[in-house]
Amino acid sequence: MKNFFDTISNIWKIEELRNRILITLGLLLVYRFGCQIVLPGIDSTQLASLASSTDQGIFGLLNAFTGGAFANASVFALGIMPYISASIVVQLMGIAIPYLQKLQKEGESGRKTINQITRWLTIGICIVQAPAYLYGLEVFGVRDSAFLLGKGLDFMVPAVIILVSGCVFAMWLGEKITDKGIGNGISLLIMIGIIATMPQSFVQEFLSRTTNNNGGLMFILVEVIVWFLVILASILLVMATRQIPVQYARRTASGGYEKNVAGSRQYIPLKLNASGVMPIIFAQAIMFVPGLIGQAFDETSAGQWMQVQFADIFGWAYNLLFAFLIIIFTYFYTAITVPTNKMADDLKRSGGFIPGIRPGKETGDFLDKIMSLITLPGSIFLALLAVLPAIVVKLMDVQAGWAMFYGGTSLLIMVGVAIDTVQQVNSYLLNRHYDGLMKSGKNRKVA
């Protein structure tokens, strides 16, 4: 414990790091404050049905990502998700559009242009999503009386402008946290929104266990232990890699490599889960399709069965399809984000080679084979974590709100962002001759 407080003291001694942390906390506080401001013209006392309708499912996920702003009809109701969607679209378009491919190769200037394209696409997505959200409030049970000014243009136009501005402002906050804070601004905004709903979910689970004679404190202890075990499994999934040895040597006149001249051996770390949480997000986004198909065939028994089964996000049919889609999307997203052929070409140009493998195409094929082999257990592990909330609901009778923190997108985002943030702070400490958060926290001796 003493070492931990020594490390915190070392963090506070570094003025630049201290200022970055304070800026980050201040901007996150601004974001959380904005999540509580209800759109002008909406009666906040009549939003109870909206909150109950966003407890679970895809809308529950959106509400968690926005820290409750979605259910509050807040000025930040759209959250940062339009920016995430725009980033995904631009990334996928980069595979097929030569102009974006050219920008990706132009370094810093190309990255700035891609970021600008992403920002404009974010605004376009917001302009579509904002009126859809406002008109969709009626679907969630919000009565017309909640709209104090009605649903005419005198309300809709300003409300859409405010929602779009709220998303753009949240995007700006994320970029400022990245530039002036401790980094990972967009991810931190998502994580802080997820964490904001955790205390309430845990309190509801605690009251359910203790007041209804439903297991009591002992069962709460079991749930917390299982939760920590799941966190450890998530950390393993995020950090696990397969190290591929790479050797560097001088190129000979004949085009080969001179043996035994290479320097120290290096490694290519290929991640067990190179796609992060994106397969879960993709799969979650299309899980409403089976229900729509069921509605289209409402008069048949199969259509009615699909409506019932895929309306329950904790049901076996929903989760089996969900897990299958996650495995498929993991392979898809890994294939477009891990360019094994480009890695092989870069190695060849720099004089690097994998021992026993010819440089060039054979190296690319070898890396692609390794990625395929390690992606299978990684995708299965990711799918199991994604459906774990349904498992704990069925086996342990955990409430839906608290069960969402046992796996899936929420937990993986929390773990991934926490690890990245610790590494950012750790790098500042190591640069200033202090041991990092993952070490003892003692001052290093400087020659």
CA proximity to 169, closest of 263, 277, 73, 33: 33
- Any domain includes 392: yes
- Any domain includes 20: yes
Instruction: Tell me the pLDDT tens digit for each residue of 276-312.
Output: 777 887 787 677 788 778 877 877 888 888 877 777 7
Same domain flag for 233 and 172: no
**Running DSSP on this structure, what letter comes out for residue 250?**
P
- Any domain includes 98: yes
pLDDT for 253 equals 53
- Any domain includes 77: yes
- Any domain includes 285: yes
pLDDT for 441 equals 43
Instruction: Tell me the pLDDT tens digit for each residue of 363-421.
Output: 889 988 899 899 999 899 989 988 888 888 888 888 877 888 887 777 887 887 888 88
- Any domain includes 316: yes
Same domain flag for 373 and 236: yes
The torsion defined by the Cα of 106, 107, 112 and 116, in degrees rounded to 10, comes to 50
Same domain flag for 165 and 293: no
Which tokens in the block code for residue 129? 């999503």
Same domain flag for 380 and 252: yes
Contact 3, 440 (CB under 8 A): yes
Distances in Å between the Cα of 10 and the Cα atoms of 4, 20, 24, 47, 330 are 10, 14, 18, 46, 40
- Hey, is 442 helix, strand or coil? coil
Contact 188, 31 (CB under 8 A): no
Whether the CA torsion 110, 114, 120, 123 is positive or negative: it is negative
Which tokens in the block code for residue 108? 């810093």
Same domain flag for 285 and 363: yes
Same domain flag for 146 and 219: no
Contact 374, 270 (CB under 8 A): yes
| Residue 281 structural domain | 198-406
**Residue after which a domain boundary falls, among 167, 196, 225:** 196
**Residue after which a domain boundary falls, among 196, 224, 253:** 196
**Residue after which a domain boundary falls, among 196, 212, 241:** 196
Same domain flag for 61 and 208: no
CATH number of the structural domain spanning residue 220: 1.10.3370.10
Same domain flag for 289 and 246: yes
Q: Collect the ranges in the chain with pLDDT lower than 50.
A: 260-263, 440-447
The torsion defined by the Cα of 105, 106, 108 and 112, in degrees rounded to 10, comes to -90
Same domain flag for 236 and 304: yes
**pTM: predicted TM-score of the whole model, two decimal places:** 0.76
Same domain flag for 282 and 374: yes
Same domain flag for 184 and 256: no
Which tokens in the block code for residue 282? 């993709």
Same domain flag for 143 and 204: no
Alpha carbon distance 32, 355 (integer Å): 52
- Any domain includes 145: yes
- Any domain includes 352: yes
CB-count exposure of residue 2 (10 Å: 0-12, 13-18, 19+)? exposed
Domain count for the chain: 2
Beta bridge partners of 147: 42
Burial 153-189, CB ≥16 within 10 A → b, else e = eebbeebbebbbebbbebbebbbebbeebbbbbbbbb
